[in-house]
Chains A and B, each alone.
Chain A
Amino acid sequence: SQTIHQWPATLVQPVGSPLSLECTVEGTSNPNLYWYRQAAGRGLQLLFYSVGIGQISSEVPQNLSASRPQDRQFILSSKKLLLSDSGFYLCACLVAGGAGELFFGEGSRLTVL
Chain B
Amino acid sequence: GQSLEQPSEVTAVEGAIVQINCTYQTSGFYGLSWYQQHDGGAPTFLSYNALDGLEETGRFSSFLSRSDSYGYLLLQELQMKDSASYFCAVGDGANNLFFGTGTRLTVIP
Contacts and interface: CB of A to CB of B under 8 A. Distances in A.
B87 A103 contact: no
Contacts of A51: 95
B96 A46 contact: yes
Nearest to B30: A100
Which of A42, A44, A107 has the most B CB atoms < 10 Å from its CB?
Answer: A44
Given A43-B87, A44-B99, A101 B33 contact: yes
Nearest to B97: A102
B42 A105 contact: yes
Interface residues of B, number: 23
Interface residues of A, number: 24
A45 to B, nearest CB: 8
A43 B31 contact: no
Nearest to A104: B42
Interface stretch (B13-21, B43-51, B76-84): B43-51
A44 B89 CA distance: 10
Interface string A1-44: 00000000000000000000000000000001010100000111
Contacts of B30: 100
A107 B37 CA distance: 12
B91 A100 contact: yes
B46 to A, nearest CB: 10
B44 to A, nearest CB: 7
A98 B97 CA distance: 13
Interface in B4-44: 30-33, 35, 41-44
A101 B101 contact: no
B45 A43 contact: no
Contacts of A42: 101-102
Given A43-B102, A100-B48, 11 more contacts: A32-B95, A34-B97, A42-B101, A44-B89, A46-B99, A59-B96, A90-B42, A98-B48, A100-B50, A100-B89, A100-B97
The 4 closest A-B pairs by CB, nearest first: A104-B42, A43-B101, A100-B48, A44-B99
